[in-house]
Amino acid sequence: MHTLPVPKEIRLSPGVELVCAPNGVRLRGPASGVAETVERLRVLRKSSQGARVRLGTWTLIVSDQAPDHLPPTTVSMPGHAWNIAASVLRDVAYGEYENPFDFGDVGYLAPRPVVDIGVEILGELLIDRPASEGEQRRRSWQDSIVSIWSSLAARARRP
Protein backbone atom coordinates (compact mmCIF):
# COMPACT_ATOMS: atom_id res chain seq x y z
CA MET A 1 0.00 0.00 0.00
CA HIS A 2 1.23 3.48 -0.84
CA THR A 3 1.69 5.53 2.33
CA LEU A 4 1.38 9.27 2.66
CA PRO A 5 3.34 11.55 4.97
CA VAL A 6 1.47 12.57 8.09
CA PRO A 7 1.57 16.08 9.53
CA LYS A 8 2.78 16.38 13.12
CA GLU A 9 -0.52 17.91 14.18
CA ILE A 10 -4.13 18.15 13.06
CA ARG A 11 -5.33 21.61 13.94
CA LEU A 12 -8.69 22.36 15.47
CA SER A 13 -10.98 24.74 13.61
CA PRO A 14 -12.00 27.95 15.40
CA GLY A 15 -14.56 27.34 18.13
CA VAL A 16 -13.78 23.60 18.40
CA GLU A 17 -12.41 22.22 21.66
CA LEU A 18 -11.38 18.77 22.87
CA VAL A 19 -13.32 17.46 25.85
CA CYS A 20 -13.04 14.23 27.79
CA ALA A 21 -15.97 11.89 27.19
CA PRO A 22 -16.92 8.60 28.89
CA ASN A 23 -15.16 6.57 26.17
CA GLY A 24 -12.36 8.92 25.14
CA VAL A 25 -12.25 12.33 23.49
CA ARG A 26 -14.89 14.44 21.75
CA LEU A 27 -14.52 17.39 19.46
CA ARG A 28 -17.11 19.89 20.67
CA GLY A 29 -18.15 23.04 18.88
CA PRO A 30 -20.18 24.51 16.04
CA ALA A 31 -21.22 22.09 13.28
CA SER A 32 -19.12 23.72 10.55
CA GLY A 33 -15.97 23.75 12.70
CA VAL A 34 -16.40 20.16 13.87
CA ALA A 35 -17.09 18.94 10.30
CA GLU A 36 -14.01 20.78 9.02
CA THR A 37 -11.80 19.39 11.80
CA VAL A 38 -12.87 15.74 11.41
CA GLU A 39 -12.25 15.94 7.64
CA ARG A 40 -8.58 16.43 8.56
CA LEU A 41 -8.55 12.92 10.08
CA ARG A 42 -8.46 11.58 6.50
CA VAL A 43 -4.69 12.18 6.36
CA LEU A 44 -4.39 9.01 8.46
CA ARG A 45 -6.13 6.75 5.92
CA LYS A 46 -3.02 5.93 3.90
CA SER A 47 -0.44 6.45 6.59
CA SER A 48 2.11 3.84 7.54
CA GLN A 49 1.66 1.55 10.53
CA GLY A 50 2.62 3.31 13.72
CA ALA A 51 2.13 6.83 12.30
CA ARG A 52 1.30 9.32 15.03
CA VAL A 53 -0.29 12.75 14.88
CA ARG A 54 -1.27 15.19 17.60
CA LEU A 55 -4.80 16.49 17.98
CA GLY A 56 -4.42 19.09 20.70
CA THR A 57 -3.19 17.18 23.76
CA TRP A 58 -4.28 13.84 22.27
CA THR A 59 -2.24 11.41 20.16
CA LEU A 60 -3.85 9.61 17.20
CA ILE A 61 -2.14 6.41 16.02
CA VAL A 62 -2.51 4.30 12.87
CA SER A 63 -2.33 0.63 13.83
CA ASP A 64 -3.98 -2.57 12.61
CA GLN A 65 -3.45 -4.07 16.08
CA ALA A 66 -6.32 -3.68 18.54
CA PRO A 67 -4.50 -2.82 21.78
CA ASP A 68 -5.83 -3.99 25.15
CA HIS A 69 -4.54 -0.85 26.82
CA LEU A 70 -3.62 2.65 25.70
CA PRO A 71 -2.47 5.77 27.49
CA PRO A 72 -5.58 7.77 28.47
CA THR A 73 -5.07 10.45 25.80
CA THR A 74 -4.35 8.13 22.86
CA VAL A 75 -6.71 6.80 20.17
CA SER A 76 -5.54 3.98 17.89
CA MET A 77 -7.28 2.60 14.77
CA PRO A 78 -6.34 1.21 11.35
CA GLY A 79 -5.88 3.80 8.59
CA HIS A 80 -9.10 2.85 6.79
CA ALA A 81 -11.03 3.23 10.06
CA TRP A 82 -9.77 6.81 10.43
CA ASN A 83 -11.23 7.54 6.99
CA ILE A 84 -14.59 6.00 7.94
CA ALA A 85 -14.51 7.88 11.25
CA ALA A 86 -14.01 11.16 9.39
CA SER A 87 -17.13 10.46 7.31
CA VAL A 88 -19.32 9.27 10.19
CA LEU A 89 -18.29 12.06 12.56
CA ARG A 90 -18.75 14.67 9.82
CA ASP A 91 -22.24 13.32 9.18
CA VAL A 92 -23.20 14.05 12.81
CA ALA A 93 -22.90 17.74 11.90
CA TYR A 94 -25.61 17.12 9.26
CA GLY A 95 -27.97 15.37 11.67
CA GLU A 96 -27.45 11.88 10.27
CA TYR A 97 -26.45 10.43 13.68
CA GLU A 98 -27.30 11.24 17.30
CA ASN A 99 -25.57 14.16 18.94
CA PRO A 100 -23.23 13.65 20.79
CA PHE A 101 -21.84 10.61 19.00
CA ASP A 102 -18.75 8.41 19.37
CA PHE A 103 -17.26 6.50 16.44
CA GLY A 104 -17.36 3.22 18.37
CA ASP A 105 -21.19 3.44 18.37
CA VAL A 106 -21.16 2.59 14.64
CA GLY A 107 -19.79 -0.88 15.35
CA TYR A 108 -17.31 -0.65 12.47
CA LEU A 109 -14.42 -1.95 14.54
CA ALA A 110 -14.62 -5.13 16.57
CA PRO A 111 -13.62 -4.97 19.27
CA ARG A 112 -14.63 -1.39 19.93
CA PRO A 113 -11.63 0.95 20.32
CA VAL A 114 -10.24 0.99 23.87
CA VAL A 115 -10.22 4.79 23.73
CA ASP A 116 -12.74 6.30 21.31
CA ILE A 117 -13.14 9.57 19.41
CA GLY A 118 -16.44 11.37 18.98
CA VAL A 119 -18.13 14.70 18.38
CA GLU A 120 -20.63 16.97 20.09
CA ILE A 121 -22.30 19.64 17.99
CA LEU A 122 -23.25 22.88 19.72
CA GLY A 123 -25.95 25.01 18.11
CA GLU A 124 -27.49 24.55 14.66
CA LEU A 125 -26.74 21.54 12.49
CA LEU A 126 -25.61 21.96 8.90
CA ILE A 127 -28.24 21.56 6.19
CA ASP A 128 -26.74 20.18 2.98
CA ARG A 129 -24.09 17.48 3.27
CA PRO A 130 -21.44 17.87 0.59
CA ALA A 131 -21.07 14.96 -1.81
CA SER A 132 -18.07 12.75 -1.14
CA GLU A 133 -15.46 12.14 -3.82
CA GLY A 134 -17.06 8.78 -4.60
CA GLU A 135 -20.54 10.30 -4.82
CA GLN A 136 -19.22 13.00 -7.17
CA ARG A 137 -17.63 10.36 -9.44
CA ARG A 138 -20.80 8.24 -9.37
CA ARG A 139 -22.98 11.25 -10.28
CA SER A 140 -20.58 12.22 -13.06
CA TRP A 141 -20.68 8.65 -14.38
CA GLN A 142 -24.49 8.58 -14.17
CA ASP A 143 -24.72 11.94 -15.96
CA SER A 144 -22.47 10.57 -18.71
CA ILE A 145 -24.65 7.49 -19.16
CA VAL A 146 -27.82 9.61 -19.32
CA SER A 147 -26.17 11.88 -21.88
CA ILE A 148 -25.10 8.93 -24.05
CA TRP A 149 -28.57 7.35 -23.91
CA SER A 150 -30.20 10.69 -24.73
CA SER A 151 -27.92 11.11 -27.76
CA LEU A 152 -28.67 7.58 -28.96
CA ALA A 153 -32.43 8.08 -28.48
CA ALA A 154 -32.30 11.38 -30.43
CA ARG A 155 -30.41 9.69 -33.30
CA ALA A 156 -32.89 6.81 -33.34
CA ARG A 157 -35.79 9.28 -33.74
CA ARG A 158 -34.21 10.99 -36.75
CA PRO A 159 -35.43 9.81 -40.16
- Using one digit for the tens of pLDDT, what is the confidence trace for 99-146? 999 999 988 887 778 889 999 999 998 876 665 666 666 656 666 666
Confidence check: pLDDT of 57 > 90: yes
- 148's enclosing H/E stretch is helix 133-157
- 53's enclosing H/E stretch is strand 52-55
- Diameter over CA atoms, the chain: 75
Q: In what order do the strands lie in the sheet with 24-30?
A: 17-21, 24-30, 116-122, 101-102
Which residues fall within 8 angstroms of residue 99, CB to CB, at 6 or more apart? Answer: 92, 119, 120, 121, 125
Q: Look at 5-19, 24-38, 98-112, 144-158 and tell me which has the smallest mean pLDDT.
A: 144-158
Three-state DSSP state, 18: strand
